[in-house]
Amino acid sequence: MSEETNDPRISRRSRVVGDPYGDGGGAPSSATDVEGDEDEELEEPGWGRGFLQNLWGGVKEIVIIAVMAMVLSFVVKTWLIQAFYIPSGSMEDTLVKDDRVIVSKLTPGPFDLAHGDVVVFQDPDHWLGGLPVAQNQPGVRGAVHKGLQFIGLLPDDSDDHLIKRVVGLPGDHVVCCDKAGALTVNGVAVTETYVKEGDTPSGGRPPFDITVPAGRVWVMGDHRSDSSDSRFHDDGTGATGSVPIDDITGRAVMIVWPIDNVKWLSVPSRIYEGVPAPTKGTPVAPSTDATTKAG
């Protein structure tokens, strides 16, 4: 045993692993101590590289998650829902200035428009021509603001959209107002509980008697005396004041800001439940494949 232990041909590994002391005794040799120190020194650079690799892996994961979140937000904003902010009081008291609303882009589309729906639509024919154009924020801040709006992380504050309530669908005969001062749709008076308190269905404006053309809707604001809607842009026939369905971005379904006013936007079915379908022979818009009505 002593000859094997003292044999200089014994490998460093056998001393360190097989016999830590290399001499069969209890005292470590100086050579073994030095070799052990070298092993420890060789391990330090490896630990540093591992830390940097883990850090880089974490950064890459965060970047991938952020990009996926932005792509998902863009997809949702483009085809499902989009946020808008309310710039005026024309829809009071249902919506007030600076409210933020969520708009479903599934209506119109998979879901049909219904009487009473609150819809966002693009300016159909320079309705907003008299309003000042919103000034974009300058520099990097403005670019970031527009970018977040584009991908859907900020509500759209563009000045080319309006929000009103659908009162007449394609083919409807809409009259304002009957002897009792109520709006009628296809000969049935409608009790519009959503009209701003203290206002009237006519809003003190001239009467009208129109039939909604095919592919279009007749819209009015809930604050009738302070809303530049279909009434103001019509030639008396319903053709120029009505809004093309193709210009409708979607139906407002929820108020999400301010926090103390978060609520769903819906119309009690009883308001329009007695309104019959348009009379046969009246032009109507082509039907869609949807079987469920929103609202």
Active site residue 90: yes
Selected catalytic residue, list 104, 164, 230, 242: 164
Selected catalytic residue, list 77, 88, 90, 230: 90
Shared domain check, 153 and 37: no
Torsion (CA) 112, 114, 120, 123 in degrees, nearest 10: 90
User: Domain boundary at 45, 72, 99, which?
Assistant: 72
User: 235: exposed, middle or buried (C-beta count within 10 Å: 0-12, 13-18, 19+)?
Assistant: exposed
Q: For residue 252, what is the domain's CATH number?
A: 2.10.109.10
Tell me whether residue 295 is in a domain. no
Shared domain check, 236 and 107: yes
Torsion (CA) 25, 30, 35, 37 in degrees, nearest 10: 110
Shared domain check, 121 and 101: yes
Shared domain check, 142 and 109: yes
Active site residue 164: yes
Q: What is the pLDDT along the chain (295 residues), one digit of tens a residue?
A: 444 455 555 444 444 444 444 454 554 444 444 444 544 444 555 566 777 777 887 888 888 887 887 777 677 666 688 889 898 999 999 999 999 999 999 999 999 999 999 999 999 888 886 544 455 556 666 666 566 665 555 555 556 889 999 999 999 999 999 999 999 999 999 999 999 999 999 999 999 999 999 999 999 999 999 999 999 999 999 999 999 999 999 999 999 999 999 999 988 888 999 999 987 654 444 333 332 223 3
Q: Which pTM does this prediction carry?
A: 0.68
Domain count, the chain: 2
Tell me whether residue 120 is in a domain. yes
Tell me whether residue 288 is in a domain. no
Tell me whether residue 285 is in a domain. no
Domain, as residue range, for 47: 2-72
Integer Cα distance of 214 and 193 in angstroms: 27
User: SS3 sequence, 226-271?
Assistant: HCCCHHHHCCCCCCCCCEEHHHEEEEEEEEEECHHHCEECCCCHHH
The answer to whether 83 and 156 have CB atoms below 8 angstroms apart is yes
Shared domain check, 248 and 110: yes
